[in-house]
Chain A
Amino acid sequence: MALYGKVYRGIEQVKGPLVIMRGVPDASYEEVVRFYSDDGREWLGQVIEVGKEKTILQVLGDTEGLETKVMVKFTGSTLKLPVSDEILGRVFNGSGMPIDGGPPVRADDYRDINGAPINPVKRDYPDEFVETGISVIDGMLSLVRGQKLPLFSEAGLPHNMVAAQIARQAVVPGKSERFAIVFAAVGLKYDDILFFRRQFEEFGALSRSVLFLNLANDPVIERITTPRVALTAAEYLAFDLDMDVLVIVTDMTNYCEALRELSSAREEVPSRKGYPGYMYSDLASIYERAGRIKGKAGSITFMPILTMPGGDLTHPIPDLTGYITEGQIFLDLDLFNRGIYPPINALPSLSRLMKDGIGAGKTREDHKEVSDQLYASYSQGVKARELVKIVGEAGLSERERLYLEFAKRFEERLLSQGFKERRTIEETLDIAWDVLSMLPEGELTRISDGTIRKFHPKLRGEKTVIYEGV
C-alpha cells in the first residue's frame, strides 16, 4: 500500500457510515481519506466536518469489518476522477474505479468530482433543436442541445425504452457528429443495466459511451458520488474534447434516498418527508452541470430519470427536480395501460427551452403555433373524456364530442409510435396538421391567419379564410 499523506490511528467511534476521530492536525474539509485494516482491507472516505477537537469522516462503501484500530490516511486532496480520452468505452463503479477488468485509465488530468459552477455570463444559451425522432417530444416538448430534461416516471413504466430510443435517434440537424453517451446507473437492478448495454451495443454506441454503474446491492453511499463522477467525465468530454454528450442518469430517486439516509446518519434537521433541507441546492449542483459554454463546441445534454414514489408529482424528489430542470417529460400510467407507446402525457410535460430552438430556420415556422394549438385542443379532449365518465357520451354537447374524437385521433396518430420508428420534424408537423384539420378553423384560436393559409391541409393557399365555429 502506497502511503503518501499523513497516517493516524485512533478512531473514537463508528456510527453508520460516519467515523468520528479526535482533532487531526492538517486535515482539511472534504479531503479524501483511506482506511487500512491490519488484515489488508481498505475503505475510502471523506472528511465532512473538521475542527481542532473533532473530525468527522464519512465512509464510502460498506463499513462491515471496520474497527477502531484501523489506520487512517489523509490524502490531502478532495475526490478526483482521472480523465483522458481513454475513458470512452470503459465501465466504472460509482467512485470512478474501472470494473470492466481493464487497466486503470491513463490520466491527462484529475478533476474534482464536485466540479465548479459555470459562470452565468459564460454560458451559451441552448437554442439548437435536437431531433429525437419521437413525435410528441419533437412536436410539443422539443429538446435542445445543452438542455436538462428529466423523465418523470413510475415503477413499471418504459422510461428506459424512451431514454434508449432518444439516445439512439437524437441528432442535431445539419451538425456533424462528435457524439458521446455518459450513462450512470444509480442503485439499479442488473437487468436494467443489461438492457441499456444491449441497446448501446445494438446501435454501435458502446465505444462512444462511458458507463458508471452503482447496482442496487452496491454501497448506498456510492450513490452520492455516481452522478458526480459521471458528470465530471461528461464535462471533460464536452468542454475539453468538444463532444456533444448525452448524459443519462437513472434513477435519481435512489440518489435522493441515499442523500436522506446520509443526512439522517449525520443527525441533521430534516425537511419535507425526512429529506434534508439542502436537497434543492444539492440536486442543483448536479443538474446545473448541463449546458453549453461560450467558445466551446461541445455540450452536455442531461436526461435524468426518476420514478415518482406513488406517482406523486408533489413528492419532494420530482418537485425539487422540476424547479431546477428545464422542463420534464411525464410518463403516464393510464396511457401505458391503454397500450400506448411512448406513454408520454403531453399536458403536464414541458420543455422550457423549446421556444428558442424552434421556428423558421430551425424547424418550421408553424411549429410554435401548432404546438400551442395541440396543447389547447388536447386538453379540451381530455376534459371531455373525464366528463364522459360522469354523464356518459350522450350527455356531451356536439363540441365536446368533437374534442373527444380529437383526443383519440391525437393519441392514435401523433402520440403512438414504434420503438424503432423515427419521424422527422416535418413528418411530425404534417401529422399534427392532419389531426388538427378535423377541427373547424374557428377552433384553431392559437394559430394565426397567415399560418392557417399556408399550412392547413384544407385551406392551403386560400386568400381569405371564413371562420366557422362548431
Chain B
Amino acid sequence: MEEVLAKGEILHIRGPVVFAENLKGAKIREVVLVGEERLIGEIVKVEGDVAVIQVYEPTGGLKPGEPVERTGEPLSAELGPGLLGSVLDGLGRPLEAVAEIAGGPFITRGIKVPTLPRNKKWTFKPVVKKGDTVEDGDVLGTVKEGAINHKIMVPPRTGRCRVAEIAGEGDYTVEDIIATLERAGRKIDLKMYHKWPVRYPRPFKEKLEPVELLLTGQRVIDTFFPIVKGGTSAVPGGFGTGKTVTLHQISKWADADVVIYVGCGERGNEMTDLLHTFPKLIDPKTGRPLLERSVLIANTSNMPVPAREASIFMGITYAEYFRDMGLNVVLTADSTSRWAEALRELSSRLEEIPSEKGYPAYLPDYIASFYERAGRVKVLGSRNEIGSVAIIGAVSPSGGDLNEPVTQHTMRYVGAFWALDKDLAFRRHFPSINWLRSFSKYASGLGEWWMKNSGEDMLSLRGEAMDILQRASGLEEVARVVGEAALSEENRLLLLEAELIREGYLVQNAYHEVDTFCSPKKQAKLLKTLIQFYREARPLLDYGVPVSRIQKLSSLGRLRRLKFVPEKEFDREVEETLRELKDELNRLVAEVS
C-alpha cells in the first residue's frame, strides 16, 4: 500500500522555521526534506494547506518556491547493533561519517547518513527455532557487541507470530534479513535493526518500584542523596559550579550496563573531553573501555537549535531500547535547560503566546514527558526480565536562580535533587552539592541495600552526619556574627567535626586516582570513622580539655586524608589512625588532670 507522497514548495522562511504549501496529506511530526539540498525538517503545525516545518539544519540561502518532499515517517531512531560506542549528532547521524562526507572539520548542510553502519558484519546467534511462537520483545538471537550481549528482539507492535524462517549462526549486516515471522498467513521480514519514533515511549509490561542503589562512587551522592536504578535526578547549578564534572563522573563510574550521554547545547570542548577520556577509561566490571558501553550524542551549542530539541528524545529512545534487553541504563542530559530554551525559541518563531519568561505554556508537560520515560520495568516478551532507565538531567538556571521555570518544573518530577552551590564551588569544595538544599526521596528505602553491601547501618550513620552538618550550619551563622571565639567549647567541637566531615568526606577529588571513586564499603567505614572522632573527643570536654588543643592533634590531619588511602590499605590505615587518636586523646586527658 505504497502511498504516493505529495511534493510541496516553500512559501516563507523565518529562521529555522519554514512554511510550505501544497503538501497534501502532511501529518504532524512527519519528517520532510526541505529545499534543493533536502535539509531534514519536521512538521510541527498544519494550517489548512500550509505546513509549518522546523528545519534541523541552517536555512541560510533557501528560497521560496524550492521543493519540499514528504517522507511519510515520523522522526525515528535506528535501533540495532552498532549503536554502542558511537558518537552521534542530535538527529542520530554518526559524526565521524558526517566529517568524512563533509570532507573537513566543519559540519556542512544536507548530509544524510544512517546511524548504524551498513557494511559492518555482526555474528548473529539464533536462540529460536523454526516453528517457535514468539511475541513482542522476545529474543530471536544475540550479537556480541563489546561486553554487551546485544539481544535482537521482535520489535514492539509486531504481535504474536510463528517463526517461519530464522538465519543460522553466521555473520550478517544490519540490512540482511535474519528472520521471517508469520502471522495469519502474512509474512513479516525482520532485520537486526528496526526504527522507532523517538517521541513515543517504547512499551513495557509493568512499571516496578525502583529499590536498588545506582552506585556512582561519589560519596555525597551515594550516602546522602542517592539515586536508584530507574530513578530520576536533576542537577541544577550556575556556571562554574561543577555540573559537567559531576555528570562526567557519574557517566564514568555509574554501576550501569549502558550509559547514554546527551550533550545538548553545551560546549564543544566538553564533548571533546568526553571523547578523549572515554576510550581510555576502563570499566571496572568488564575490564573493557567505557566507550564500548556508551552512546554519546553531541549537539553542541553552536549546532542548529531544533536538532537540540530532538536530541533528548533520540537519547531516551536509545536508552529504552537497551532497557528492553533487560539492562540497566543511565541517561545523562547536559543540559535540559538548553533543551527547554530550544523549545522556547521555536515557540517564539511559531508566534505562540508565551507564558512564564517567554517559555511556552506546555513546558511542564514537556519536561514531565521526558522524566516519565525513566523507570524500572518488567520488559516485553515471554522472559521474566527487568530493565531500567535512570535519568540524570543537568539544569542551568539563568543567573543561578533556582526559582526559574525550568528548575521549578523539573523539581516536581524528579526523585533526587542535587543543588550545586556557587559558594562551595568558589571554595573549591567539589562536588559542590549543597547538603541543606538537596534531597533524595530514595534514601530511606536503601537501608537494606547498604547493610548487604557494606555491612553497616548506613541510614543511622547518615542521619547522625546530617544532624551534625545541620546543627553546624546554624552555629556558623552565629559565628559569622559573634566570631568563633565566642562559641561554647561544645559548639566549637561540633564545628570541628562538621569541618572534618566536609573536608574528609563530602569533598571528593574527581581527578585524584584513588579519590575519584569510593566503594560502598569504604564509604561506610570512612563515615563511621569520622563520626568516631566526635564520639571519642566529646568526653574530653568534661575533663576541661580545650578544643584548641584537640584541633592540633596529628591524627586529625590523618583522618582528613583517609579518603586518599587506596582500598587495599584502607582497613589497616583506619585502625592505626584510630589507635593514634586514642593515644593522643589519653595524653591530653593526662596533661590536663
Contact = CB atoms under 8 A, between A and B. Distances in A.
Interface in B468-491: 480-486
A50 interface: yes
B87 interface: yes
Nearest to A375: B428
Given A125-B272, A294-B105, A379 B511 contact: no
Contact of B357 (A53, A125, A272, A442): A272
B336 to A, nearest CB: 13
A119 B481 contact: no
A123 B480 CA distance: 47
B481 A391 contact: yes
B25 interface: no
Interface string B98-133: 110010111110000000000000000000000000
Interface string A390-421: 11000111111000000000000000000000
B367 to A, nearest CB: 17
B344 A277 contact: yes
Given A271-B344, A348-B240, A391 B483 contact: yes
Given A29-B60, A123-B268, A281-B345, A442 B302 contact: no
A51 B552 contact: no
B240 A350 contact: yes
Interface stretch (A219-227, A248-256, A283-291): A283-291
B386 interface: no
Q: For A124, A239, A319, A398, which residue has the most chain B Cβ atoms within 10 angstroms?
A: A319
Contacts of B338: 280
Given A116-B107, A124-B272, A288 B300 contact: yes
Contact of A277 (B87, B104, B341, B553): B341
A13 B480 CA distance: 63
A131 B539 CA distance: 53
Given A271-B344, A326-B267, 6 more contacts: A25-B65, A27-B63, A120-B268, A280-B301, A285-B301, A441-B557
Given A49-B12, A120-B300, A314-B401, A296 B64 contact: no
B428 A376 contact: yes
8 contacts: A30-B61, A316-B399, A327-B240, A348-B426, A396-B484, A446-B428, A467-B556, A469-B551
B481 A271 contact: no
A330 B159 CA distance: 62
A323 B268 CA distance: 12
A52 B301 contact: no
Given A324-B267, A395-B482, A119 B358 contact: no
Contacts of A449: 561
B269 A368 contact: no
Interface string A43-78: 000000111111000000000000000000000001
A271 B483 CA distance: 43
Nearest to A346: B426
Contacts of B464: none
A259 to B, nearest CB: 14
A400 B14 contact: no
A234 to B, nearest CB: 14
Contacts of B15: 49
B310 interface: no
Nearest to A147: B269
Interface of A: 23, 25-31, 49-54, 78, 112, 114-126, 146-147, 239, 268-272, 277-278, 280-281, 284-285, 288-289, 291, 293-294, 296, 314-316, 319-320, 322-324, 326-328, 347-348, 350, 353, 355-356, 368, 372, 375-376, 379, 386-387, 390-391, 395-400, 441-442, 445-446, 448-449, 466-470
Given A120-B87, A396-B483, A442-B552, A29 B59 contact: yes
Given A270-B358, A277-B341, A467-B554, A288 B396 contact: no
A328 B240 contact: yes
Contacts of A115: 106
B485 A395 contact: yes
A280 B552 contact: no
A379 B298 contact: no
Contacts of A399: 484, 551
A275 B379 CA distance: 47
Interface in B79-111: 87, 95-96, 98-99, 102, 104-108
B521 interface: no
A448 B105 CA distance: 42
Contact of A469 (B19, B239, B552): B552
B398 interface: yes
Contacts of B238: 319, 322
Given A117-B106, A268-B348, A50 B63 contact: yes
Contacts of B538: none
Q: For A146, A147, A278, A350, which residue has the most chain B Cβ atoms within 10 angstroms?
A: A278
Nearest to B348: A269
